[in-house]
Structure 1
Amino acid sequence: MRIVLSGSFWCQPIVGSGQYLHGLLRYLPRVAPQHEYILLLPVMVGAVPPLPPVVAVRYVATPFDGKNRHSAKLWYEQIGVPQAAAQLRADVLHIPYAAPPLQSSVPVVATVHDIIWLLLPEYRGKATFRAYTKLIPPAARRAAHILADSEHSRRDIVQHLGCEPSRVTTVLLAAGDQFHPQPSDQAAAYVQQKYGLKQPFVYYVGGLDARKNVSTLIRAFSWMRSAGGPDATLAIAGRAPHADPQIFPNIDVLIGGLRRQSEIRRIDVPYADSAQLYAAATIFAFPSRYEGFGLPPLEAMACGTPTIAANTSSLAEVVGEAALCVPPDDIVGWVTALWRLLVDTNTRSDLRQHGLERSRMFSYQRVAQETLAIYDEVYRQHRY
């Protein structure tokens, strides 16, 4: 097969869609070297991270390059990509995020990571974004097949996008290869030297938007300390890309109001240091209200870090019984879980072992194998 993939997120390897595309393209050629793989990139993409040598690259220009980035993005996705795939005589076109074209002569497989923009009103954005997302449901229904990151997301896609259930398949994601156990004392020394963080500390990394529910974690940590809980630090890594208070609550104001500036730290962590922070942390906490999958808890468990996660959306599928699970808005539950793990070394040891075992169930080799099975199914259905 000649498999063409849209590479919009190849140059964003830190975001979830970028991590997914990088993991997929690392392992697809290993699992099935007999196929041909071509990555399409927008002309205006900028610096391109190295690609596996067996993956070819084709650039797609648009009439709006350098003029209007929104129009260029739309043209690239809806016209440029399907045209390029047809010119390349692709057997399958994979769009690895929720932007399948409405029309394509090449059968389309699309990965829809989540439909947050449809389920949560505050994420529907301005008129231009709402108009853009209106294309997704009909385009998803026309795709040959949809991949979902979790069974929870699959149900949402079937219910809210109106896709035929038989054409939506769950392919659980995986943590990147860099997330694995490492000597915690070395990681702790590195993190203390670079970030000034001493153990014990609770770690959160991820978005700072409202659904991530970081405010509940901050309040629970402050309450625990006020109640005489263990001496510890809460380290929060993440950025708010813009200052919309409806989507991005100002957590600095919250931290200041609680007078916890010395105990609750905001840190800027480059992606290269992610595994070190996980490994050095005493606990990883992830209170998100909604996820399509939820990579950070899996990354933390893969590094051997005891984890607390919200018991909502897809997170139960990710962590299973290998983490403490708490309702996302149950502050008392979060206080109790934080306190327990900070003082109970036996529970931490058990969760570390269970988390490592759980994380080994997820791999990009499996992601590639299951994705290739869908490519093959779509190819056989559309070859004549």
Structure 2
Amino acid sequence: MTADTLGGVWTYAMELIKALEPYRVEVALVARGRLPTSDQREQAEKLGCELICLPQKLEWMDDPWDDVAEAQAALQEIVHEVQPDLIHCNDYSAAAPRWEVPTVLTAHSCVYSWFQAVKGALPPQEWAPYRELVCQALERANVVVAPTRAMLEALRVYRADIRNARVIPNGRASAAFYTNVQKQPLVMAAGRIWDEGKNLDVLNYAGERLGWPIYVAGETKHPDQGAIQAAPSLRGLGFLGGEQMRQVLAAASIFAHPARYEPFGLAPLEAALAGCALVLGDIPSLRQVWGNAALYVSCDAPQAWHYTLRQLALDEERRREMASRALKRARFYSLEAFGRAHHNLYGEMTSAHDETATSVSQPGISFSVPSHFQPPFG
């Protein structure tokens, strides 16, 4: 399994490996994009998986192509040595080569859908090699997984005929979060400060007028462009480790997530598990994940964000109701369902490979959602 160390994909991989423990799945984890931190190494060690590091640039970084080729060659050597039954790729460059064993590609996000959501246009021509690589990965992966239908639909910009496409929502262990802590009059937000898709600056207007502090946790250092600070009225906390983040979320009454682009959103899921009421950007993917368990505000309306947060801050009963809805919905994205869906997928793929020694892909688009992932309400 590959996983970049720079954001939510690492958390996704850690939770998936944990979710697969009951099925005795052995994982060799290839850390991509940057050397793992000491905390990340400790996480992998606790899960008992073999950790292999390929710190070369990822395909979405500046001028990455020599690094991508080098990492692909190194990954081929790793596959030859490990002899896996299946490869789970969490980045496109890992899925682009032709592998002799079944390959699942999870599409967590992509540059083209980010540009469309954030800039309202396709990327400039310089991104053509990236597009070519993603098209190759989508063609060669035996199964393509996305965390929401919205993300799966976004991949149509590359290929209209993605084969054997599946929706498997992300999952999170609810037991790790604190729900018996006294809530404080504060709003929490999270995301990489430098990522325009998180749209955190829209909260600046509310931060100046709300009366409750708005705290923002997230990486401030861009991989290529240096540090970027949060908007002036927001109280930046920088990057927080898992335990620190759980403690802050436990104290927060409201979690604000004004994202323009969010294929799933682990941060709102963690906030909901910590008992926060959710106020989210009004985009299709977040509505698909949260239904009526959140309040939604236009990504381009700072005054509307202030109004919605203010109304919720003044109404304790409404806050509790929305927090209860969010927690109920969050428990639907359980670690057990997450692990079961992937174990079933892995079994299907390896069985088909053993029986036919050919791809499990079928012509045409197939959108399928495991029955145990059907939402409990709208």
- TM-score above 0.5, yes or no: yes
Per-residue CA deviation, residues 292-311 of structure 1 (Å, 9 max, x unaligned), is 11111111111001110112
Per-residue CA deviation, residues 235-258 of structure 1 (Å, 9 max, x unaligned), is 22223324999x998644xx3xxx
1:25 paired residue number: 17
Runs of 5+ consecutive residues of structure 2 not aligned to the other structure: 58-62, 358-378
CA distance in structure 2 between the aligned counterparts of 1:163 and 1:20, rounded to whole angstroms: 27
2:83 paired residue number: 89
Which of these two proteins has the greater Rg computed from alpha carbons?
Answer: 1
1:206 partnered with 2:191:
yes
- In the alignment, residue 136 of structure 1 is paired with which amino acid? V
| Correspondences of 1:66-77 after superposition (within 5 Å) | 70=64, 73-75=67-69, 77=71
CA distance in structure 1 between the aligned counterparts of 2:137 and 2:101, rounded to whole angstroms: 14
CA distance in structure 1 between the aligned counterparts of 2:10 and 2:144, rounded to whole angstroms: 18
1:234 partnered with 2:198:
no
Q: Secondary structure at the match of 1:296?
A: helix
CA distance in structure 2 between the aligned counterparts of 1:28 and 1:59, rounded to whole angstroms: 19
Note if contact 1:289-1:313 (Cα within 8 Å) is conserved in structure 2.
no
Q: Secondary structure at the match of 1:49?
A: helix
| Correspondences of 1:260-275 after superposition (within 5 Å) | 260=233, 264-271=234-241, 272-275=243-246
Say what the alpha-carbon RMSD is for the aligned residues. 3.4
Residues 176 and 343 (structure 1 numbering): CA distance in 2 closer, same or farther, change over 3 Å? same
Note if contact 2:262-2:286 (Cα within 8 Å) is conserved in structure 1.
yes
Q: Secondary structure at the match of 2:293?
A: coil
1:216 paired residue among 202, 213, 219: 202
Residues 251 and 59 (structure 1 numbering): CA distance in 2 closer, same or farther, change over 3 Å? closer
Per-residue CA deviation, residues 26-83 of structure 1 (Å, 9 max, x unaligned), is 12121x12x44333457x946533536785527478999xxxx956742454233244
Residues 248 and 176 (structure 1 numbering): CA distance in 2 closer, same or farther, change over 3 Å? farther
1:368 paired residue among 321, 333, 339: 339
Note if contact 1:141-1:161 (Cα within 8 Å) is conserved in structure 2.
no
1:120 partnered with 2:100:
no
CA distance in structure 2 between the aligned counterparts of 1:56 and 1:215, rounded to whole angstroms: 39
CA distance in structure 1 between the aligned counterparts of 2:332 and 2:197, rounded to whole angstroms: 27
The alignment of Structure 1 onto Structure 2 pairs a total of residues equal to 340
Residues 126 and 240 (structure 1 numbering): CA distance in 2 closer, same or farther, change over 3 Å? farther
Identity of aligned residues (%): 22
| Correspondences of 1:1-384 after superposition (within 5 Å) | 5-6=1-2, 8-9=3-4, 12=5, 15-30=7-22, 32-33=23-24, 35-40=25-30, 45=35, 48-51=41-44, 55=48, 57=50, 59=52, 70=64, 73-75=67-69, 77-99=71-93, 100-120=95-115, 131-132=129-130, 134-157=132-155, 159-162=156-159, 164-177=161-174, 179-185=176-182, 199-208=184-193, 209-222=195-208, 225=209, 231-242=211-222, 251-252=230-231, 255=232, 260=233, 264-271=234-241, 272-383=243-354, 384=357
CA distance in structure 1 between the aligned counterparts of 2:51 and 2:66, rounded to whole angstroms: 17
Note if contact 2:186-2:252 (Cα within 8 Å) is conserved in structure 1.
yes
Q: TM-score, normalised by structure 2?
A: 0.78
Q: TM-score, normalised by structure 1?
A: 0.77
